[in-house]
Amino acid sequence: MADATQEFFDGLARRGHDRRLTAIDEGSVRFDISRDGRTDHWLVAIDRGDITVSKQATGGDAVVEADGAVFDRIASGEAYFLTTVLRGEAAVAGSPRIFATVRKLFPPPPTSRGSRRRGGDHG
């Protein structure tokens, strides 16, 4: 069975288009995910909402670096992407505009016990 990170990128590739990303005109984000002494790279290219995913170690208008276990939690919705960045568990570099938009690719933030999810932009 694939890990949550692999499933996340496979899902993006199958999605093909996301209307929330139409503001990005030819932008890309490279994800460098480290696990067991090696780093896997995914390049997510976005063009007016059209998404393509490739395994590529170069490029990206923005770069996200994270440990595999951390990214698994992000990809599965157990952890909120922005919170992991603020805690220093993941790092981002490059275009702030791309970063602000690409966080919409991730599941909404987890809710605390007894609270209800609020509407609006979660990513």
12 or 122: whose pLDDT is higher?
12
Q: Within a domain: residue 66? A: yes
Q: Within a domain: residue 114? A: no
Question: Which structural domain range is residue 57 located in?
Answer: 4-105
Backbone angles phi, psi at 43, to 5 degrees: -110, 120
* pLDDT for 2: 58
Q: Within a domain: residue 118? A: no
Q: Which helix (H) or strand (E) holds 92?
A: strand 90-94
* pLDDT for 10: 94
Q: Within a domain: residue 44? A: yes
* pLDDT for 107: 84
User: Count of domains in the chain?
Assistant: 1
Q: Within a domain: residue 18? A: yes
pLDDT in tens, 64-118: 999 999 999 999 999 999 899 999 999 999 988 888 877 888 887 777 544 444 4
Q: Within a domain: residue 110? A: no
Q: What's the rounded Cα separation, in Å, for the pair 2 and 88?
A: 26
